[in-house]
Every structure is written in structure tokens, then in C-alpha cells.
Amino acid sequence: MRKNKAIGIDIDAVLADSDPVFIKELQQITGKEFIRTKETPFKYEDAFGIDEDTMNIFWDTFTRKNGWIDIPVLSGAVEAVKLLHEEYHIAIVSARPQVLETQTVKWLELNNIPFDEIFFTDFEDKAQKLSHLDELEYFLEDNPIFIMDLIKRGVHILLFDYPWNQNFTDPGVTRVFGWEDVYKLFFKSNRAR
């Protein structure tokens, strides 16, 4: 039965602890030491000072070796999403390109993360994929650039705290420091419901 409220959830840096995986691999390839700060550019090619072609080769190689399958899940994510799924229709919306659908869905299944729908935006704003969900109440994200239209639509954003979003504030956005915070917001107080 379709639930009467919905929540949208990002993958990288929200469900999947992807950034440390990419940093480790890029450090090995480039031989560069790397410490992320709030000044570090979000895109890896800018952060590591490598050109776009080299970066595309990195992504292709990572995909061919099924690297997406082995990315760890963020602590507490599986338990919290299972509980949320009891009440909410869950739409997973990733900025990853569509070509990663098979590996991404397999990753979700392997990690027992429940969802009702999944969309890939290829770096476009996520609102366009969610226009059919009138009941969308929340979106969990780490990168504000992908959700500006959702904020305008009045969807309440839970923003996972990272160096790359330190300068972002908005009245519709609540900063969270991991899934423990999400769990508390939904299940230990009345604030989120």
C-alpha cells in the first residue's frame, strides 16, 4: 500500500561513505597527500588538480572493477532507513549517472537498504525527478547545489554535515551530524514529525 508521506534520500555521503574511498584511490594514483577542508573544491578533479580526461578514466576504471559495490555504508543508516520505511515512501535520488544503476541497486540490496523508487540525475537538480511526489516531506542530502529547487518547493532538508557544505544555511535546512541525529529527530522527539 502506498504510504501517504514520502522521504527522499541521497546516496553518496548520506547512505554511502564514498568520499574516503575516492580520496584513498586518488591519493594512490596521484601520489598526492590530501586533507579535506572546507576550502577544498567539491569536485575531485579540482581538489586533486587533475584534468577531466584523467578523472573520467578514474571513474571508468572504478566502475569496471565494480568499485561501487564495496563502498561502506554510513554508520546507523540501514537501521534508520528500515524504521523510516515503516512510515514513509522512500525515494532514493542520486546525482550519479544512470549508467551506474545496476551497481547502485545491487549495493542497496546487498546492504539491505529498503526503497520504493530510485532515480539518477547525472548532476541535475533532484526536484525534477520528484515532481510526482506531492507527499514529499523530507530530503536527506549533503550537497545543497542538487536540492535548491526542493528547498524552494518547501521540502524540509536534513543536511549531512561535511566540509563542503559548511557555508550553507537556509531556514528550510536542518544540519545533522550523522544517522544518529536523523534517528533522534524522527524517533526520539516530535521535531521532525
DSSP code of residue 163: G
- Among residues 8, 12, 151, 185, which is the contact residue for Mg ion, using CB under 5 A? 12
Q: For 144, how many CA atoms within 13 A lie in the half-sphere containing its CB?
A: 19
Q: Would you count residue 19 as binding Mg ion (CB under 5 A)?
A: no
Q: Give the Cα separation of 149 and 126 in Å (integer).
A: 8
Q: Give the Cα separation of 185 and 81 in Å (integer).
A: 13
Q: Would you count residue 13 as binding Mg ion (CB under 5 A)?
A: yes
* Only segment of 5-13, 47-55, 70-78, 178-186 that touches Mg ion (CB under 5 A): 5-13
Residue number, 10 or 130, with CB nearest to Mg ion: 10
Q: Give the Cα separation of 37 and 86 in Å (integer).
A: 37
Q: Give the Cα separation of 57 and 75 in Å (integer).
A: 30
Give min distance, CB of 46 to Mg ion, in A: 17
Q: Would you count residue 159 as binding Mg ion (CB under 5 A)?
A: no
Residue number, 13 or 130, with CB nearest to Mg ion: 13
DSSP code of residue 155: P
Residue number, 136 or 142, with CB nearest to Mg ion: 142
Residue number, 104 or 142, with CB nearest to Mg ion: 142
- Among residues 6, 8, 10, 92, which is the contact residue for Mg ion, using CB under 5 A? 10
Residues 6+ apart with CB under 8 A from 86: none
Q: Which residues bind Mg ion (CB under 5 A)?
A: 10, 12-13, 142
